[in-house]
């Protein structure tokens, strides 16, 4: 099973793009994964690749996933 959500544990050098301890939804990116990168929609509202080492996988309840997905859609410009 692919990682669906991650929490940022290192935002050094990306203070505008990543918030420490914030949970991000992962966007599948096979090419990025082959290079130890993970694609997320960052705090600027754009999707980018970041080193996977900046994150840890997290598991959230299904009801929270639905709420999270709705919040992402509503905040997208």
| Model pLDDT for residues 8-46, shown as the tens digit of each residue | 999 999 999 999 999 999 999 999 999 999 999 999 989
Measured in degrees and rounded to the nearest 5, phi and psi for residue 25 equal: -85, 135
DSSP calls for 16-72? TT--TT-EEEEEP-HHHHHTTEEEEE-TTSSEEEEEGGGEEE----HHHHHHHHHHH
Domains of the chain: total? 1
Residue 67 has pLDDT above 80, yes or no: no
Domain housing 51: 5-75
pLDDT at res. 64: 80
* Reported pTM: 0.81
């Amino acid at each position: 099973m692919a990682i669906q959500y991650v929490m940022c544990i290192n935002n050094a050098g990306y203070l505008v793009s990543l918030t420490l301890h914030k949970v991000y939804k992962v966007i599948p990116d096979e090419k990025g994964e082959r290079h130890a990168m993970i694609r997320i929609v960052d705090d600027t509202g754009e999707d980018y690749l970041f080193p996977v080492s900046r994150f840890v996988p997290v598991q959230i309840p299904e009801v929270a996933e639905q709420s999270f997905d709705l919040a992402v859609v509503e905040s997208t410009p």
